[in-house]
Chains A and B, each alone.
Chain A
């Protein structure tokens, strides 16, 4: 009964390949996020969707394309992988309510991507 689940947990691939990471949440939240955590452990937001609508799109190469088929799922597709894409990618979700609770985020366990 994991709240936010990501697959795969580990991903090792060659430069130039295309890969996808999937994320699902069963918390009934309206908002989902993708973060990248690099080797320096800095957690940086990439995208956010609210009710399947893109609301945050940070400066991310257009090789990265998020897709939200419904509000419980947010997938991340990466084309033409590069060495610099190696990182841990975290999916998160948060409720859409007023007050402080709306920004409390629940994270998946992360996907460790290694590009060789």
Chain B
């Protein structure tokens, strides 16, 4: 089993739709979780950290389910500008500064 797994997509949704992505991780001792966004031919950028209690930032909501070892990202009222690849990132708590990136989920929002 891969350390971090994501559905590669692509997810094709119309503007205004709600879309959700899941990401599973294998190390139950993992401590920190993040969602990054990567636009085509650009560098990854932090979208949001994922807190144990779940957190929201505008149209974006992140959830953590430790029992089932997955994190989720919900995007409400999708915009054309949300089209990107969304990377799930997990710190496996092996000490040090290592983080594991998922392969990403591609999202296309169409007019």
- A residues with a Cβ closer than 8 A to B are 31, 33, 35, 40-45, 48, 50, 55-56, 90, 94, 100, 102-110
Q: Which residues of A contact B42 (CB under 8 A)?
A: 109-110
Q: Are A103 and B46 in contact (CB under 8 A)?
A: no
A41-B103, A42-B103 given; A103·B44 CB < 8 A: no
Q: Which residues of B contact A56 (CB under 8 A)?
A: 96-98
Q: Are A107 and B49 in contact (CB under 8 A)?
A: no
Task: Tell me the smallest distance from the CB of A65 to a CB of chain B, in Å.
Answer: 20
In the complex, which residue of chain B has the Cβ closest to the Cβ of A45?
B98
For the complex, give the distance between the alpha carbons of A56 and B44 in Å. Answer: 20
The listed residue with most B CB atoms (<10 A of its CB), out of A35, A43, A105, is: A43
Q: Are B97 and A55 in contact (CB under 8 A)?
A: yes
A55-B97, A100-B32, A102-B97 given; A107·B103 CB < 8 A: no
Residue B101 interfacial (CB < 8 Å):
yes
Total A-B pairs in contact (CB under 8 Å)? Answer: 55
For the complex, give the distance between the alpha carbons of A55 and B54 in Å. Answer: 31
The listed residue with most A CB atoms (<10 A of its CB), out of B45, B46, B97, is: B97
For the complex, give the distance between the alpha carbons of A105 and B98 in Å. Answer: 11
Known: A50-B97, A100-B32, A105-B44. 18 other contacts (CB 8 A): A33-B97, A41-B85, A43-B44, A43-B87, A43-B104, A45-B99, A45-B100, A48-B96, A48-B97, A55-B96, A56-B96, A56-B98, A90-B44, A104-B34, A107-B43, A107-B44, A108-B43, A109-B42
A-B contact pairs, 27 of them (CB 8 A): A31-B97, A33-B97, A41-B85, A41-B103, A41-B104, A42-B103, A43-B44, A43-B104, A44-B101, A45-B98, A45-B99, A45-B100, A48-B96, A50-B96, A50-B97, A100-B49, A100-B51, A103-B99, A104-B34, A105-B44, A106-B46, A107-B43, A107-B44, A107-B45, A109-B42, A109-B43, A110-B42
